[in-house]
Structures are given as C-alpha cells and as structure tokens.
Homo-oligomer: A and B are copies of this chain.
Amino acid sequence: MSDVSRLAGVSKMTVSRVLTDPALVAEATRNRVMTAIEQLGYVPDRTARSLSSRRTNFITAILPTLTNANFADTVQGLAGALRTADYQLLIGYTMYSLSEEERIVRAMLARRPDAIVIASAVHTKATSEMLLRAGIPIVEIWDVPEHPVDHAVGFSNYEVGRLAARHLISLGHRRIGAIGSAITSDATDFRGESRLQGFSAALREAGISDGSILRQSAAPSSYDHGAEALSTLLRQAPDIEAVFAVSDISAVGALMECQRRKIAVPGDLSIIGFGDFDIARQCVPALSTIRVDAEMIGSKTGELLLTLLESDDGAALPAQSRLDVGFELVTRETTSAPKI
C-alpha cells in the first residue's frame, strides 16, 4: 500500500479510503490512486485490515459433512447470501463427532470470525462455553431447539418423524419400521435421532408397536447403509409393510435392495425418506419423502447474519431468534396402501 501511495503521491490513508469508501475521495485523486493500484497489481491485505479494524469478515460454518447434498445446498445458499457483502466462509466438518466439533470450534475461534453457523444443537460442555463466550452471533441451523445458544434457523426434526409416521398410518399400515443411525460417543446424528423419536411417538399415539425402529451403524448414512439396514430389518420383521428412512440416501439404498430382492415397492413394501434429494425425484419408482428447503436454510441464515452484522447501531436487534422454515410431505410412488 505504501508503494501505491508513493506512486500516486498521496498518503496511505487516502489509498485506504479509495479502497473502502471511494466517495470520500475527490475524483481526480481517486483516479490517480486507481491507476497506481492497477499499474502495481496491488491487492490489499485483508489480514492487516482485519487486525486493525477488528473485523475479519469471516463467517465460520460448521457442518457434519459436506458429502451430503443437503448440507452442500445449505452452504451454497449461505455463500450466495453473503457473496455480495464480501464475507468469506470458513468451513469445518465434524464428521458427526462431538470431540472433533470441539477441536474445530477452538481452531476457528482463533481466526476471529464475525459469526458462527453451526449445524448442531448438541455440543460438549467446553464447546458450549466457547460459543457463549465468543461474543459474536451464533446461529444453530437444521433444527429449532427450545433454547438456542443464540439464534436458530431450521425446522423440527421431531415433527418430521411424526409426519412420516402419520402418513404411513393414514395409508392403513400397521406393521411399520424405520431405519436410522446409532448414537455412539463419536458418531452423533442427533437430528436423525429426533426424527426417529418423533416417528416412534406417533406410532405409539396410534397404538402401533415401535419395536421395528432400527438404529444401525454410524452416521452419515449412505446407499450401502440403507441397503444393509433394510436387510437387517427384514430379518427381524419379515412381515413389515412400511419403512421410514431418516435420509433419502438410506431410503434409496433400501429401495435398490428391494429391487435386487424382487420386493415390489410399494406393492409389498412402502418406503418414505427424508430430504428430497435429487435422486428421490429420479429413481424408479420415485421416492415419497419429506422435503426441507436446504438452500433456503442457508440463505435465510445469511440474511439474518447480514442484519446482525451490518446494522449501524447494535440497538433494536433481537437478542435471540428462532426461524422455522418448515417442511413438506411429498407423496410420490413408493408409498401406498398395503395389499389386502
């Protein structure tokens, strides 16, 4: 920057003004500075800016994995909303591990982000403390906990599970199962577990057994997981009529396993998933599922963040907020009434 100021014959302050708020500088001066910048190919150093302005324009996003179309969509939505405002995303993956999440939060805090977005409402004690003490906006996404650390943008996973169950029940099914992941010390898909809990509750409300809810192997779910879990379920409950999978990926895996076993879907077995991934619309038969607008979770979070960070006075801002983006049952071809 001093090279630029020397070449343009102005002070560094003037160069700085041209970069941050050009309107403050006289046109002639501004043009001289711009020319110098281009001649030298000068790229301002945001590290230095961050240090002196006490704002990094970093926003941390912590997610279980990116190998999941829905989280990738959320990141895309978030990045889109923040793009124009010159924020840079700092992405971390926890791989569904709480200890890894703690490690990442600590490392991220050292980068002094202006805000943190985190796809989880369950943390270790140390993580929660760090988050609370960070003194920056925290947005928990993909769920709407009763008492968020700060802000929350998501939907009720529990109610998703209930809706799935009610759909299968309303079709006339009574022997109903579900496929999810196990919660272990280091693989913790709490949102999927919430869906399972809601599912289980709705079955019990209807006087139906929730004995066929399978929690097999660790998150994240995969096509293989769905195929294997379906096999296990059929072994345990051969007369099952309908299955809910906590993810479309598992659901499609289960569907493919049915095709290999010549089990007619939905004739012999109804299947409903969650997420409305692209594959759900394209697979044959097309998958019934519960849709959630993953990209919108990202873009709404981005908008919230801009409001919180760009407001001139800190006043008049909600200390906390909860935004429920909802979800929607999408009935396609894999669910129908049981054969009589």
A residues in contact (CB < 8 Å) with B = 41, 43-48, 50-51, 56, 65-67, 69, 72-73, 75-76, 79, 86, 88-91, 93, 106-112, 129-130, 133, 222-224, 227, 252-253, 256, 259-260, 278-279, 281-284
Contacts and interface: CB of A to CB of B under 8 A. Distances in A.
Contacts of A50: 47
B224 A112 contact: no
A79 B106 contact: no
A223 B282 contact: yes
Contacts of A76: 65-67, 93
Contacts of A51: 45, 47-48, 51
A105 to B, nearest CB: 10
A111 to B, nearest CB: 5
A64 B46 CA distance: 24
Copies in the complex: 2
A144 to B, nearest CB: 25
Nearest to A90: B88
B223 A111 contact: no
A56 B45 CA distance: 11
A21 B56 CA distance: 26
A282 B252 contact: yes
Contacts of A106: 43
Q: Which 6 A-B residue pairings sit nearest by Cβ, starting from the closest?
A: A223-B282, A259-B284, A46-B110, A66-B72, A67-B72, A43-B109
